[in-house]
Structure 1
Amino acid sequence: MADAMPYLTIGCQAVVAVTFARSCAAKAAGRDAFADFRRWLSGALRVPAALAAPVAAGAVIAEAAAAAALLVPPLVPIGFLAAVLLLAVFTVAVVSMIRRRVRVPCRCFGAGRRPPGVPHAVRNLVLLTAASIGAVTALAGDGPPPADAAAALAALAGAAAALLLIDLEEIIDLVRPLAVTSEESP
């Protein structure tokens, strides 16, 4: 089991870093994207208008910093710990919006189509679990990360998992049964 820990760490690094990088990029894609995120914070999360811009900037900076730290070997444990903290806050925010029945589409990855729901909470819990496992394995690890084909495969698997989590809404739409209206039924 100890031999697999560096690869588990690498996979967790990839899933969390890719997800945070995509989330950060969507929010900082331009003035309009950032303004939409800031307005969403005020409306959906009830952040006071005077604090929305600094909170929005803080979220973008924190995601970027955590993603970057996960790519620098000496900073990996700090990156994971930052990710755990951020994901805990994001998960609480999503659950709060679900409980308040917020109907505004989620802005986690830019312009979402669905309001916060169970898939958003599950995605955040999966990411929180990956960040937590990564933190434990990174802190327990000794020595530099391996640089072999298995490490590349672990990174690729983590990146693929991140892409699936990022596009979870679309994947759910693909597998969700189509609603048939009474006019369409035989």
Structure 2
Amino acid sequence: MIYLNLLCRGLLGAVFLLAFGGKVRSPAALRAFSGSLADLGWLPARLRPAAVVGLLVVEGATVLLLAWPATATTTAAGFAAAFALLAVFVVGVGLSIRRGERVRCLCFGADRGAMGVSDVVRNLALAAVAALGFGSSLIGGPAAAATAGGAVAAVAGGVVAGVVATRWDDLRFLLSA
């Protein structure tokens, strides 16, 4: 279970680090992300600044909880925060798609155009990883013994999978060309 836990932590840690970093890398990127929230017809304008700050705080905290020298409590809290964020994203994007809104995705700092069903599917898959990681925190716990090589391989595999998840549309475009 420890290797599954480390893989899930690496994957979700990479996803949320890239998301957080993409938004705060420059004032212009942060303004662009904040502006993209105007596309969400269900989010009142007066709540957008709080939504941006809240999202950044929770994304940053999620990364720290997943990267923290692990205890079952901090790791489980990181997975719970990741799951909660992803659930909000699934519901929010799904609602926007259902309403016919064309919401731009600046989730990882670059404008990839309008979000679609593939974004919902990606976030559902990531939520499943968060649930799996949460369960592994409760069952095997991150304090269980692991070899250094196995731990590095599990985290590295998770990070690679996280980068692939955040750049899936780019990879799909390259492979289809």
- Letter paired with 2:165: L
Greater gyration radius: 1
1:27 to 23, 30, 44: 23
Name the counterpart of 2:94: 95
- Letter paired with 2:28: D
Offset from partner CA, 1:66-95 (integer Å, 9 cap, x none): 111011112111111111111111111121
1:50 to 46, 50, 59: 46
Question: Quick check: 1:84–1:131 contact (8 Å CA) kept in 2?
Answer: yes
Question: Quick check: 1:105–1:113 contact (8 Å CA) kept in 2?
Answer: yes
CA distance in 1, matches of 2:97, 2:137: 33
Distance change in 2, residues 1:173/1:41 (3 Å): same
Offset from partner CA, 1:114-156 (integer Å, 9 cap, x none): 2111221121111101110000000112461524211111111
CA distance in 2, matches of 1:80, 1:149: 23
Name the counterpart of 1:117: 116
- Letter paired with 1:86: L
What is the percentage of aligned positions where both structures have the same residue? 31
Question: Quick check: 1:114–1:169 contact (8 Å CA) kept in 2?
Answer: no
TM superposition score normalised by structure 1:
0.86
Name the counterpart of 1:14: 10
- Which range moved further: 167-176 or 68-77? 167-176
Distance change in 2, residues 1:149/1:97 (3 Å): same
Question: Quick check: 2:105–2:113 contact (8 Å CA) kept in 1?
Answer: yes
Root mean square deviation of aligned Cα: 1.6
Name the counterpart of 1:130: 129
- Structure 2 unmatched ranges of 5 or more: none
- Letter paired with 1:149: G
Offset from partner CA, 1:81-116 (integer Å, 9 cap, x none): 111111111111121222223324211111222211
Relative contact order higher in (CA < 8 Å, ≥ 6 apart): 2
CA distance in 1, matches of 2:54, 2:86: 14
Name the counterpart of 2:149: 149
Aligned length: 173
4+ runs deviating over 3 angstroms: none
Name the counterpart of 1:139: 138
- Letter paired with 1:79: G
Name the counterpart of 1:169: 169
Question: Quick check: 1:106–1:114 contact (8 Å CA) kept in 2?
Answer: yes
- Which range moved further: 38-47 or 18-27? 38-47
Question: Quick check: 1:45–1:93 contact (8 Å CA) kept in 2?
Answer: no
Question: Quick check: 2:62–2:81 contact (8 Å CA) kept in 1?
Answer: yes
- Structure 1 unmatched ranges of 5 or more: 179-186
